[in-house]
Amino acid sequence: MATVETNDAASELRSQFLQVLRSRRPSEVPLSVIPGKPVKDPFFQESPKPTFSEAMASCPKEDIPNSNELLQEENFYLTTEEGGQGILPVLVLSMKESEKKRRPTIVFLHSTNKCKEWLRPLLEVTSASRGYIAVAIDSRYHGERATSITTYRESLVSSWKNGDTMPFIFDSVWDLIKLVDYLTEREDVDPSKIGITGESLGGMHAWFAAFVDTRYSVVVPIIGVQGFGWAIEHDKWQARVNSIKAIFEEASADLDKSAIDKEVVQKVWDRIAPGLASQFDAPYTVPTIAPRPLLILNGADDPRCPLGGLEIPESRTLEAYEKANCTQNFKLIAQPGIGHQMTPLMVKEASDWFDRFLKV
């Protein structure tokens, strides 16, 4: 495993980002664990409910006798701050062990409108046949933290209107800092081997959590890393905006615009996620993950994460890994012919990457 050596610029950028996260926090509370129960009817904010993922079903696995009997499940809540959204639902799957030992751990993060239970196929394979402790959470305003099919959408509009929350990416990153606080204290977790990955919105969460918190030691964002500022500058923002269009329509009306344009997009990002399209954008934050192993997985034809917006982040990140003498720790794969979609190839590449760096 590469040793994390924080330089002054990266440390300063992390400090600035933490200041932004703390600027809209309710009062902090002691981290505590509240017992929970399995979710019988997982809540999705999309209709019809998703039922199957070819990509997740393709996850590499080994046949282990009696794996179902040996699989153990934990459901609980972490208190990350005051208020209802400060209760973080957590799902952990692991194999029963005859002797206590610290094991590598992977945190999985879901995409927009889904929930932690959607990721269960990945958690089961990762823990039952590959020996990891597998963890998933509900991101802000999703899963057990949602009350209606429009909860997340309403939270985004409220953030634009009131400027008191950051439901797009940043608030969930705060939860991931608190999650790793908890994981590093577990007797069965190896605190030096905690990986993080996610799909789409979850990929963005993984990217920013790894940027701000170096305890995430192996990082695999899937269809999440993108250049927000580049997209505005090059008029490639439409697909990303359309994925959460309600907030931009609201902002456009508030700004007396007849249609959404790049000025609206810039103002929304500045309001709901300050710095997302400027000092905390990919060209500045992705390189700070070096020298930790980082695999970026995208579709070559993904309109939400256009490849043009990754040229500068990729070159700067490669330079950071070259300076750290560990270019083998960085890889970007853009799968040809693929849009905004997690594929079996991406799942296999992610699995191999974690095995390579967390099982040493």
Give the tokens for residue 333.
């794969």
If one counts the domains in the chain, the total is: 1
Q: Is residue 237 part of a domain?
A: no
Query: What's at 37, amino acid-wise?
Result: K
Contact 249, 276 (CB under 8 A): no
* Ramachandran angles phi, psi of 254, nearest 5°: -65, -30
**CA geometry: angle 93, 80, 7, nearest 5 deg:** 90
Reported as type and span, the H/E element at residue 269 is helix 262-272
Q: Is residue 241 part of a domain?
A: no
Q: Which residues contact 10 (CB under 8 A, 6 or more apart)?
A: 287, 288
Eight-state DSSP code of residue 304: S
> Residues in the chain, how many?
360
CATH number at residue 227: 3.40.50.1820
Q: Is residue 56 part of a domain?
A: yes
pLDDT in tens, 198-237: 999 999 999 999 999 999 999 999 999 999 999 999 999 9
**What is Dmax (Cα atoms) for the chain?**
65
Q: How many CA atoms lie within 13 A of 322 on its CB side?
A: 6
Q: Is residue 196 part of a domain?
A: yes
Q: Is residue 283 part of a domain?
A: yes
Determine the Cα–Cα distance for residues 207 and 221; give it in Å rounded to an integer: 6
pLDDT at residue 98 in the model = 67
Closest CA to 283 of 313, 311, 307: 313
Range of the domain at 160: 1-232+268-358
Determine the Cα–Cα distance for residues 233 and 235; give it in Å rounded to an integer: 6
Q: Considering only CA atoms, give the Rg of the chain.
A: 19
Q: In whole angstroms, how far apart are CA 138 and each of 103, 159, 236, 258, 340?
A: 23, 19, 29, 36, 21
Within 10 A of 47 (CB to CB), how many other CB atoms are there?
8
pLDDT at residue 5 in the model = 44
What string of pLDDT tens digits covers the 360 residues of the chain? 444 445 899 999 999 999 999 999 998 899 999 999 999 999 999 999 998 899 999 998 877 777 778 899 999 999 999 999 999 999 999 998 867 899 999 999 999 999 999 999 999 999 888 899 999 999 999 999 999 999 999 999 999 999 999 999 999 999 999 999 999 999 999 999 999 999 999 999 999 999 999 999 999 999 999 999 999 999 999 999 999 999 999 999 999 999 999 999 999 999 999 999 999 999 999 999 999 999 999 999 999 999 999 999 999 999 999 999 999 999 999 999 999 999 999 999 999 999 999 998
pLDDT at residue 76 in the model = 98
pLDDT at residue 1 in the model = 43
Eight-state DSSP code of residue 89: E
Strands 33-35 and 87-95: unpaired
Q: Is residue 239 part of a domain?
A: no
Determine the Cα–Cα distance for residues 253 and 275; give it in Å rounded to an integer: 23
Closest CA to 271 of 159, 174, 113: 159
Q: Is residue 247 part of a domain?
A: no
Contact 354, 218 (CB under 8 A): yes
Contact 191, 214 (CB under 8 A): no
Q: Is residue 185 part of a domain?
A: yes
